[in-house]
Amino acid sequence: MLSELGKQLKLLAADPRNNFSSILRQLTGPREAARYGQPLRRMILALPEMITQLRSWSDRSGLPPGVRRMQTFTLSYLYDPIDFLSAKSSGLFRYLDDAYLIARIYQITLAKHGTADMKNQGSERNLANDVSQWVTLTRRILPKETAKIEALLDEAARKRIDQTTDGPKRLSRRKSSRVLRPPILG
């Protein structure tokens, strides 16, 4: 499934009709869009690798319970067809909220457990270094959406969302817009 997601994202990134850059220009202006475009595109394209890494880490013992709950919640979030981004979002840009969420959990896991204990399984050597920049840039261009994602992560960490029964329902009610799209993992 993740290899298919990777192929789909690469096709979207290569599509000349992809409006990723134009949406960034609308959100940030032309000068900033040039600075944001490449790192955010890389974050989206790294989604399968970050998911693989999170799955690997979630199988390890020693993770704090709050981090484990956030990881479980995050992976279940990806199956939810409702998106944080508006109906205008299409192409590669529609994956930005998913990529932010996964990058944020990746970052939290490293911070809570320590980078020495959490070896990268993927081929991307600088992923841990890039994630911090990706998270910061996404927060700048999508402040409302990322704040809502952070609130959901806080709830998941505090056990306010039951990932097995209540999680997807509560998540659906809390998302900012109800844009249906194909789930990226199903």
Burial of 90 (0-12, 13-18, 19+ CB in 10 A): middle
Provide the pLDDT for residue 127: 85
Q: Which of 108, 75, 6, 4 is closest to 47 using CA atoms? A: 6
In a domain, 185, yes or no: no
CA 52, CA 58: separation in Å to the nearest integer? 10
Range of the domain at 39: 2-180
Helix (H) or strand (E) holding 4: helix 2-14
Query: Residue 180 phi/psi, 5° resolution?
Result: -85, 135
Average pLDDT of the segment spanning 45-71: 81
Please give the residue that has the higher pLDDT: either 124 or 31.
Answer: 31
Domain count, the chain: 1
Q: Does residue 61 fall inside a structural domain?
A: yes
pLDDT for 42 beyond 90: yes
Q: What is the DSSP string of 47-99?
A: HHHHHHHHHHHHTSTT--HHHHHHHHHHHHHTT--EESS-TT--GGGGGHHHH
Which one-letter amino acid corresponds to residue 35? R
Sign (positive/negative) of CA torsion 169, 174, 179, 182? negative
pLDDT of residue 71: 78
Query: Does any domain span residue 186?
Result: no
3-state DSSP assignment of residue 185: coil
In a domain, 147, yes or no: yes
Higher pLDDT pick, 129 / 139: 139
Q: Are 126 and 50 in contact (CB under 8 A)?
A: no
What pLDDT does residue 125 have? 55
Share of the chain above pLDDT 90, in %: 30
Tens of pLDDT, residue by residue over 150-170, are 998 888 877 755 444 444 444
Q: Tens digit of pLDDT for each residue in 77-135?
A: 777 656 677 655 678 898 999 899 999 989 988 887 765 555 554 444 578 889 999 99
Q: What pLDDT, on the 0 to 100 scale, is given for residue 100?
A: 94
Which range is least confidently modeled, 15-24, 67-76, 132-141? Answer: 67-76
Residues 6+ apart with CB under 8 A from 113: 57, 62, 63, 64, 67
**Confidence (pLDDT) at 131:** 94
Query: Does residue 150 fall inside a structural domain?
Result: yes
CB within 8 A of 169, min separation 6: which ones? none
Domain annotation covers residue 105: yes
Does any domain span residue 143? yes
